[in-house]
Amino acid sequence: MPRIAGVDIPERKKVRYALRYIHGIGPKFADDILAAAGVDPDKKAGELSEPDVSQISSVIDEGYIVEGALKRQMAQNIQRLRDIRSYRGDRHRRGLPTRGQRTKCNARTRKGRKKTVAGKKGVKGA
């Protein structure tokens, strides 16, 4: 398996799709990287020569933040929002959606499973 930017990418896929297995590289960045490295995007990842792999790695190292550094940067950005007590930071702290989505119904991805709250019992002797 070719190893680019510390990540094993699948051999049987075309390079333009295999690069997307690296956290922080999507469709556009994958195509930009291959164009800058001068590698054919329709080539399979397993068919890459050693110079091609090193060329792709050097392009990624020079101009892109990927994997651990990207995750660390995202965590620092969220922590900064929490520290300055912004609205978005407060939503992160509470585990709620941060971009204006409604929470009366839906939002289960952020809120987790339903927590049933005991309802009011019927009033006797009324």
Is residue 47 included in any domain, yes or no? yes
The position carrying tokens 């990624």 is 60
Helix/strand/coil (H/E/C) assignment for every residue in 56-111: HHHHHHHHCCCHHHHHHHHHHHHHHHHHCCCHHHHHHHHCCCCCCCCCCCCCHHHH
Is residue 59 included in any domain, yes or no? yes
57 Cβ neighbours under 8 A, 6+ residues apart: 4, 5
Q: Give the tokens for residue 89.
A: 């930071």
Q: Is residue 44 helix, strand or coil? A: strand
Is residue 108 included in any domain, yes or no? no
Is residue 12 included in any domain, yes or no? yes
Is residue 26 included in any domain, yes or no? yes
Is residue 50 included in any domain, yes or no? yes
- pLDDT reading at 121 higher than 80: no
Average pLDDT over residues 82-92: 96
Is residue 106 included in any domain, yes or no? no
Identify the CATH number of the domain in which residue 57 sits: 1.10.8.50
- pLDDT reading at 71 higher than 70: yes
Amino acid (one-letter) located at 39: V
Q: Which domain holds residue 23?
A: 3-63
% of the chain beyond a pLDDT of 90: 73
- pLDDT reading at 125 higher than 70: no
- pLDDT reading at 126 higher than 70: no
Is residue 93 included in any domain, yes or no? no
What is the reported pTM?
Answer: 0.78
- pLDDT reading at 7 higher than 70: yes
pLDDT score, position 75: 97
Q: CA quadruple 66, 71, 73, 78: dihedral positive or negative?
A: positive
Nearest residue to 21 (alpha-carbon basis) of 52, 58, 11, 61 = 11
What total of structural domains would you count in the chain? 1
pLDDT digits (tens, 9 = 90+) for 19-50: 999 999 999 999 999 999 999 999 999 999 99
DSSP designation for 52:
H
pLDDT score, position 4: 84
